[in-house]
Structure 1
Amino acid sequence: MSEAGFLDELAWRGMLHQTTDDSGLPDFLGAPGRVAYCGFDPTGSSLTIGNFVAIKLLAHWQRCGHTPIVLMGGGTGLIGDPSGKDAERQLLSAEQVQANVDSCRRIFERVLDFDPARPNAARIVNNADWLCGLGYIDMLRDVGKHFSVNMMIQKDSVRDRLENREQGISYTEFSYMILQAYDFLHLRRSEQCTVQIAGSDQYGNIVAGIDLIRRDLIDADESEPRGYGITAPLITKSDGTKFGKTESGAVWLTADRTSPYAFHQFWLNASDADAGKYLRWFTFLDRAEIEDIEARHLEAPQRRLAQSTVADEMTRLMHGDEELERARAAAGALFSGDVAGLDEPLLDEVFKDVSGTEHARSSLDGEGVLLLDLLPETSLAGSKREAREFLSNGSVSVNGSKIEKDVALEHRLHVDDLLHGSTILIRRGKKTWHATRWA
């Protein structure tokens, strides 16, 4: 990818929404070594797949020969960005914010190159280092005087909250725009950073930062670059539902919040209508590779090639090859029914959301438990009559092994059937599972 190709790269991927200077920015980016930053507020110990888009923008920036700066909002995170929020954020303690900053560093290190030997190595800065030392009077005199309240209340994030009489907006969150603008000015002074990259909901804050830089450099030579902004569209799903959410909550980028298996499954379950967009937004495959995958996907959509490619690429990037192979093995075992070979942590993860029941382990001793009697106690059969029907037509399997219908009515479960000493998995048909736990 050439240095001048950053905007073109974003454009063909559908990741370019708006710039603050469509005519001047391409020429400005024609020279290597430009510096851009993107901000992340550390409101949690991890980041979500929605945040990944911004990280990937910085990665493309670096691959084009420019220098990316990750700005962790250790200072602004104490306040909270009102953008996209219809209610006041709960304030975090300084200790919580710092712990979150430290925790999120590992995510950036998986996507960006921080090798100091590289001339455009990525860097991480924390705006607490400069914001927390600012005096209130100095901030009002040197920065606040450049902001018109009339202008600030026209911003969508502020106006929407002002129109909500019950909620409103606090002075704390109202001031967020000023602090973010000051971040841009500080990085312009200290890091020669001339570009801010963000989602489209941050456009107003970016413009505020550029205006502040212009005022600061009002006496500087005209050839001295002031600042530019580049935004990506907010990603949406084709069915209109919120991206990055599942029934169990947000999808996170670290294994302590979302397991590699669940992470892999999220991408596998993408719709055909979204899969092509995800290939462009979430993988680093080039245009020819993506178009080839899309063509092959259309020939046999039931194979879900596009979804599996995104799932594999994202899981490998965020969790590594070993966890990818474990996730793929688990998915294959669940599909084929051959679950007996899964290790205990993976088995627990795969079946944690499957309906289950608790039973006395001692009942497996001696003659054991008659499967016909057990099924009505599970979610697989509503009555003994249904259980007899399912067993008689050979639609029941135990730990992945089909119970032959001619012996199914007399089949008993014993201690030897326990997986990892505590679990017996029963399946009806091809997809309906139930986990019995024995203690």
Structure 2
Amino acid sequence: MNFLDELEWRGLVKDVTNREALTKRLETPISLYCGFDPTADSLHVGHLQQLILLKRYQMQGHHPIALIGGATGMIGDPRPTTERSMLTDADLQQNIAGIGAQITRILTSDNNPVKIVNNRDWLGSMNALDFLRDYGKYFSVATMLAKDTIAKRLSTGISYTEFSYTILQAIDYLHLFQKEGVQLQIGGSDQWGNLVSGTELIRKIEGHEAETYGVTSHLIMKADGTKFGKSEGQNIWLDPSRTDAYAFYQYFINTSDEDVIDFTKRLSFKSVDEIKAIEAEFLAAPHQRLAQKELAKELTIIVFGEEGLAMAERMTQALFSGNVQDLSVDELKSAFADSNAIDVTADATIVDLLVDTKILPSKREARQLVSDGAIRVNGAVVNDVAFVVTKADAIGQEITVIRRGKKTYHLINHVL
């Protein structure tokens, strides 16, 4: 199985320009690039497939370039429905710095580091006449109108700004071909039209002997139809200040059985044989969630390092065992980010607290559960109905964790 065949097995090949020639070309090192729009100051897990794909090439000895769209990011690749919001220059620079640091960290290499370029360096000084004279003449409006991203917007309207995006991206490929020797562009399947525009522009300007390629990969889709990369409607970011290692780890731990092998093929660096072995063991005992654990562990190390994985596993174990007293206030807030903390303004007996906060509907039920040992306070069983929950005994003198039964947690925030 050659490199391109393995990528196809992993679900990472959809469309290829001249596959036979590319297969031969990949036998020796090639320079390739993938573009990232700086629409936020962090990438999210939806970008992981392309980042990891760049690293796969890097590990094969090929030379990766990450292009950050400092110019095209001001315009935006056309969305299916609406125009993108324009970014200020200050926001754009902040976003470029943020995602550049993430790309560098994930594609770290001692002898073959990723090169990061910003297309504003060559597009920023281009004037309108140069754009139209030197490049616009090579693009057929009929061909551009036929592209999916454009055709889908014709009924609702699309500005010339977004309509011109594909030309700018083609210029990027031409520039990198001429200045960096880039011969391959990769991207998601939604980028096929832009990739082809680039290879065609190079051929028209540099001649038919110019050897360039484009490869797209299938977009990751969940089996239930929900969007990959979101949890409770929120993005899972690669920036620890936005999404910490625990939340990231839990996102992949909670991958559905229907999705986990597909995600593992696409995102894991494990070999084909290793993945087949994991799949066999997982299918034999899916309740043990081996595939989810292996995927969550590997990706957390890639994005957050060994230290991030250690923190995520420690928090997971603490919550599983109920030993929440081992966690810090910040870790508890992260662990219960999707839960509403209940504010209390005074110390109270456990029975009064359970009823006053509406955790339980009546003092009779509260006394019964406490007497039965079904209530834990900060990890410890409380079976004394006169036990007083105090701010002084709270974790960090700020938070008390009430656990009811095996899995139901309530966060008490002491605001005395």
Separation of aligned partners in 1, 2:104 and 2:273:
27
Q: Deviations over 1:247-297 (max 9, x none)?
A: 151011110111111111101111111111121222211112222222222
Residue 25 (structure 2) pairs with residue 25 (structure 1): no
The 8 Å contact of residues 76 and 84 in structure 2, kept in 1 or not, is answered as yes
Aligned to 1:250: 235
Q: Decide which of 30, 33, 56 is 1:34's aligned counterpart.
A: 30
SS of the equivalent of 1:424 reads strand
Which ranges of structure 2 fall in alignment gaps of 5 or more residues?
none
Aligned to 1:386: 365
Separation of aligned partners in 1, 2:389 and 2:51:
51
CA RMSD of aligned residues (A): 1.6
Separation of aligned partners in 2, 1:93 and 1:5:
45
Map 1:133-148 onto structure 2 (within 5 A).
133-148=125-140
Separation of aligned partners in 2, 1:273 and 1:379:
38
Residue 90 (structure 2) pairs with residue 101 (structure 1): no
Separation of aligned partners in 2, 1:29 and 1:323:
35
**Structure 1 residue 7: Cα displacement:** 0.8
Map 1:18-417 onto structure 2 (within 5 A).
18-30=15-27, 32-82=28-78, 84-113=79-108, 115=110, 118=111, 120-164=112-156, 168-218=157-207, 222=209, 224-225=210-211, 227-247=212-232, 249-360=234-345, 363-364=346-347, 369-404=348-383, 407=384, 409-417=385-393
**Structure 1 residue 411: Cα displacement:** 2.7
Aligned to 1:7: 4
SS of the equivalent of 2:43 reads coil
Separation of aligned partners in 1, 2:242 and 2:305:
16
Separation of aligned partners in 2, 1:306 and 1:59:
22
Separation of aligned partners in 2, 1:94 and 1:65:
36
Amino acid at match of 1:178: I
Amino acid at match of 1:68: P
SS of the equivalent of 1:133 reads coil
Separation of aligned partners in 2, 1:414 and 1:185:
67
Q: Deviations over 1:288-315 (max 9, x none)?
A: 2222222222232222111111111111
Separation of aligned partners in 2, 1:128 and 1:211:
22
The 8 Å contact of residues 293 and 305 in structure 1, kept in 2 or not, is answered as yes
Q: Deviations over 1:306-330 (max 9, x none)?
A: 1111111111111111121111111
The 8 Å contact of residues 375 and 405 in structure 2, kept in 1 or not, is answered as yes
Amino acid at match of 1:138: D
Amino acid at match of 1:430: K
Separation of aligned partners in 1, 2:109 and 2:129:
37
Q: Deviations over 1:140-190 (max 9, x none)?
A: 0110001111111111111111122xxx11111011010001101111111
Separation of aligned partners in 2, 1:13 and 1:332:
32
The 8 Å contact of residues 114 and 123 in structure 1, kept in 2 or not, is answered as no
The 8 Å contact of residues 80 and 152 in structure 2, kept in 1 or not, is answered as no
Gap change, CA 1:80 and 1:73, over 3 Å in 2:
same
The 8 Å contact of residues 279 and 291 in structure 2, kept in 1 or not, is answered as yes
Amino acid at match of 1:395: A
SS of the equivalent of 1:36 reads strand
**Structure 1 residue 13: Cα displacement:** 1.3
Identity of aligned residues (%): 43
**Structure 1 residue 415: Cα displacement:** 4.4
SS of the equivalent of 1:153 reads helix
Amino acid at match of 2:160: Y
The 8 Å contact of residues 378 and 434 in structure 1, kept in 2 or not, is answered as no
The 8 Å contact of residues 359 and 437 in structure 1, kept in 2 or not, is answered as yes
Q: Deviations over 1:19-46 (max 9, x none)?
A: 011232211222x221111000111100
TM-score, with length taken from structure 2: 0.96
Separation of aligned partners in 2, 1:285 and 1:389:
51
Aligned to 1:428: 404
Amino acid at match of 2:163: F
Amino acid at match of 1:247: E
